[in-house]
Structure 1
Amino acid sequence: MKYTYTYLMAALLLLCLSCTAIKTSTNTSELEATALHPYGRFAYNEEQQLELISSAVHFGFSFEGTEARLFASIPDAGGHNYLQYELDGVYQKRIKISGNTHEPLVITAPSGGRHTVWVYKATEAHTGPIFLAKVTGKKVQPLQKPAGLIIEFIGNSITCGAAADPSEVACGTGDYHDHHNAYMAYGPRVARALGTEFMLSSVSGIGAYRNWNSNGPTMPEVYEKTDFQENSSRHWDFETFRPQVVSIALGTNDFSNGDGKTERLPFDSTRFVTSYVGFVKLVKSKYPKARIALLSSPMLQGNSKQTLENCLTAVKREIDEAYPAAQPVALHFFRAMQARGCSGHPNVEDHALLAEELLPFFTKLVSP
C-alpha cells in the first residue's frame, strides 16, 4: 500500500509538470518569418528568413503581455544596421543591430494586454539587408493591413530619409547610415496621413541620367533589380504590389556639381529629359493603371530650380502625348528649402514640412 501511494504521488507530480509545460508553450509562441506580411522590397533566403531590403520596408505583428522578441541579424559581422518600430500606433525609436551579436531584440510594452507592433527598416537597400528569422511572444500573431491604396515613392537620399536624424550620432561622425530615418521621411509621413500603404524605391546619390559624382548606374538602370544593385541577378517581381500612385523625385543629383574629383560636365537638359521619359515609360510598363506624379527638388534654387521644373514639364508633356488615354502626369514643384540635416539634407523636422506641403497634392491623387 505504501509503494502504491508513492507511485501515485510520482504520477501526479509528472502530470503536474506536464501541465506546466503545456501552459508555458501555449503562452509563448513563435511566428516564423514566412508567416509575416511585409510591405516594400523583400526576399526570403534559403533558411526562409525574411530579408528586409528597401528603405522603410515593414511588417507587423501583435502579442499579449509586456514583451516580444525579434530574432534579427545582418550578414556583415563587423557592421551594423537599424530597425525602428511603432508600438500601438506610436513611434518608439531606432534599434541598432550589430553584426557580432546574436541576442534577440526585445520590444517591451508598459502594461499587459494585447499590443500591435510595426517594424521598419530605417536604412536603404545599399546599406545592406537585415534578416529576420522569427518573432516570439505570448500569442504572437501576424498583422496584415486591409487591401487599399498603395503609393510607391521613387527617389534619392531625400526619399530614403538619409542624413535626416543626428539624434544619436552627430553629423560628421559615424557611418552614413547612422543618420538614416526612413520612417520619418516625407513619403511615409504622407502615406500615414492619408491612411494608405506605401513602399520606398530609393537610392542615395542616384539620378535620372547621372548620379551625384558618377555617370551611373542610374535609377533607370537599377529599378528592376530587387536590391537596386546593377550587377544583381535578382529581379523584382512587380506583381507583388500594385501601387495606384507612383511618385518619382529625381533630379537633385543630376544637377550636383559632383565630388570635385571626378570630371563633371555641365547639366544636359536633353539627356535628362530623354532618360526621364524612358524611365517613366518603364514604370508605366510595370504599372499600366498607376497615376504618375513627378516631384521637383526642395534642395535646388535659382536657375537650377527653374531648369528642373522646365525639364519635368517637358517630361509630362511627352508622357501625356504618348499615353492619351491615361490620366495625365501630375506635377508638384517644391518650395526651396534651407535644409538642416547632415550634409545639406532635410532633417526629420524638414521632412515634416515637406510632407505638409505635399499632403494636399497627394490627397487629390488618391481621391476617387
Structure 2
Amino acid sequence: MDKFSENLLFSGRWEHGKEFSRTSAPAAMVQFNAQAKSLEFELEGEARFRVDEDGRQIAVLTTNSRSVNKVKTSGDGSVHRYRLIKISESNPGGVRLYKVSTDKAGKFAAPPKQSNRRIEFIGDSFTVGFGNEGRNGEDESLVFEKTNASRSYAFLIADGFKADFQVNAFSGRGLVRNYDNIVPEWPVPRLYEYTVPGEAPGDLANGLADASLRYDFDSFHPQVIVIFIGINDFQGNPPYADKGAFKKAYAGLLEKLRKAHPGVKFLLLSTKVWPNDDLTPTVKSIYDVEVAAGKRDLEFMTLQTANVALLGHPDIHSHEDMAKAIRSLVGRLGRWLSR
C-alpha cells in the first residue's frame, strides 16, 4: 500500500510526487489506523524516526540510503493508531517516504480524521528540540542522536491539543542574521517560502524551477501561529542584527501571515540571550507597536529556559516547562480551552 493511499494522514510540510513524498521539517508526521502484526516503512534520507502505537513509542528508526524498515507491533488483532514522526532535523537535506505497508495478513482501517485545530510554529533550534536529549558539554557530533523533535515544546503543545500542525524551524537561522552569519543568504524568511526548505538550496543550485518548490500557503491555514525567532540574530560572535532591520522584518512577517491566513492569532515568544539580552526588549517593542496600532490578534511572553542540554539548549524537561507555560495562552488564542 503506497503513500498516496487515502488511509494516510500527513502533518507538517510535505511535497507529494508520483514516486514518493518528501519533507525536511522536524516533527513531520504520518498517521494511520491499522490491524497488523508488523509494519514496513520504505524511507530514504539521513534521519531518525519515532514509531508510535496509540501514542506509545514502539520503535526508533535510523535511516540513510533507501531501505525498508520493519517494525513489530503489539499484534493483538485490534485496530491501533500508528504514527511515524521525524524526530531529527534536516538542515540541509530531506527525507523521502516511498511506501507504508502492513504484513500480508494485516489491513488498514479508516484513516484518521483531520483535526479542526491547526497550529504552526516558526522558530530556530529551540523550536526544533535541538540536542534536547543531550547534556551541555557533550561532543557536538552527537546532535543527530540527541535531537528529538517529538519532545520539543512545539510537538508537546500540538499533541496536547490534538491539533494538526507544522513545525517550520531551522537551527542556527535568524530573521535577518544567522548565527555567526552562516549562510547569510538563507535566513528564516527565505527558507520559509519552500515546501522542503532543507533541499531548496540544492535544488535551486541544480537548476530546478523556483516556482515548483514554493510552498502553497493555501494548503494549510493555522488558527494560531507561535513565533519564536531572533535568538541567532543577537547571539554568537558580533556584529549582531540591526534592531531596526529586525523590527521591520518581524512586522513584515506578521503582515504576510495575516494576509495568508485571515483571522489567525499570534503568540510572540522570547527568551534571554547572551551576551546583551537584546531579543526580549526588541520583540516586546514590536508587540507594543502592534498593539498601539490597534492589533488585537497577538500576545507576547518571555520564557525562562534551562539551557543544560547539548550546546547550551533546553533539555526535555525545559521543553515540558515551556509547553506548560504557553499552553493556556495558545488555548485562549485558538479558543480551544474547555469551559
TM-score scaled by structure 2?
0.85
Q: Give the number of aligned pairs.
A: 319
Alpha-carbon distance between aligned partners in 1 of 2:140 and 2:269, rounded to the nearest angstrom: 31
1:195-234 matches, cutoff 5 A? 195-214=162-181, 215-228=184-197, 231=201, 232=204, 233=210, 234=213
Aligned with 2:303: secondary structure? coil
Alpha-carbon distance between aligned partners in 2 of 1:129 and 1:318, rounded to the nearest angstrom: 38
1:39-188 matches, cutoff 5 A? 39-47=11-19, 49-74=20-45, 80-99=46-65, 102-109=67-74, 111-137=76-102, 138-141=106-109, 143-166=111-134, 171-172=138-139, 174=141, 176-188=143-155
Quote the offset at 1:86 in angstroms: 1.7
| Cα gap change, 1:85 to 1:103, in 2 (>3 Å) | closer
Q: 2:207: which partner in 1?
A: none
Would the aligned equivalents of 1:208 and 1:219 in 2 still touch at CA under 8 Å?
A: yes
After superposition, the CA RMSD in angstroms is: 2.4
Alpha-carbon distance between aligned partners in 2 of 1:267 and 1:73, rounded to the nearest angstrom: 37
Counterpart AA for 2:269:
L
Counterpart AA for 1:58:
M
Structure 1: any 5+ residue segments left out of the alignment?
Answer: 1-29, 75-79, 259-263
Alpha-carbon distance between aligned partners in 2 of 1:40 and 1:67, rounded to the nearest angstrom: 25
| Cα gap change, 1:133 to 1:227, in 2 (>3 Å) | closer
Deviation by residue 1:166-213 (Cα, 9 ceiling, x = unmatched): 49xx94164532222111100110122223222101100111110111
Compare relative contact order (CA 8 Å, sep 6+) and give the higher one, 1 or 2: 2
Structure 2: any 5+ residue segments left out of the alignment?
Answer: 205-209
Counterpart AA for 2:44:
S
Deviation by residue 1:22-66 (Cα, 9 ceiling, x = unmatched): xxxxxxxx244453221111012342x121321111111122132
Would the aligned equivalents of 1:126 and 1:227 in 2 still touch at CA under 8 Å?
A: no
Would the aligned equivalents of 2:41 and 2:68 in 1 still touch at CA under 8 Å?
A: no
Would the aligned equivalents of 1:210 and 1:217 in 2 still touch at CA under 8 Å?
A: no
- Is 1:194 the counterpart of 2:157? The answer is no
Deviation by residue 1:243-288 (Cα, 9 ceiling, x = unmatched): 0001100111111123xxxxx3145322221221122222222212
Alpha-carbon distance between aligned partners in 2 of 1:281 and 1:173, rounded to the nearest angstrom: 37
Q: 1:284: which partner in 2?
A: 258
Would the aligned equivalents of 1:59 and 1:143 in 2 still touch at CA under 8 Å?
A: no
Alpha-carbon distance between aligned partners in 2 of 1:257 and 1:102, rounded to the nearest angstrom: 39
- In our comparison, the structure showing a higher alpha carbon Rg is 1
Quote the offset at 1:142 in angstroms: 6.1
- Is 1:334 the counterpart of 2:303? The answer is yes
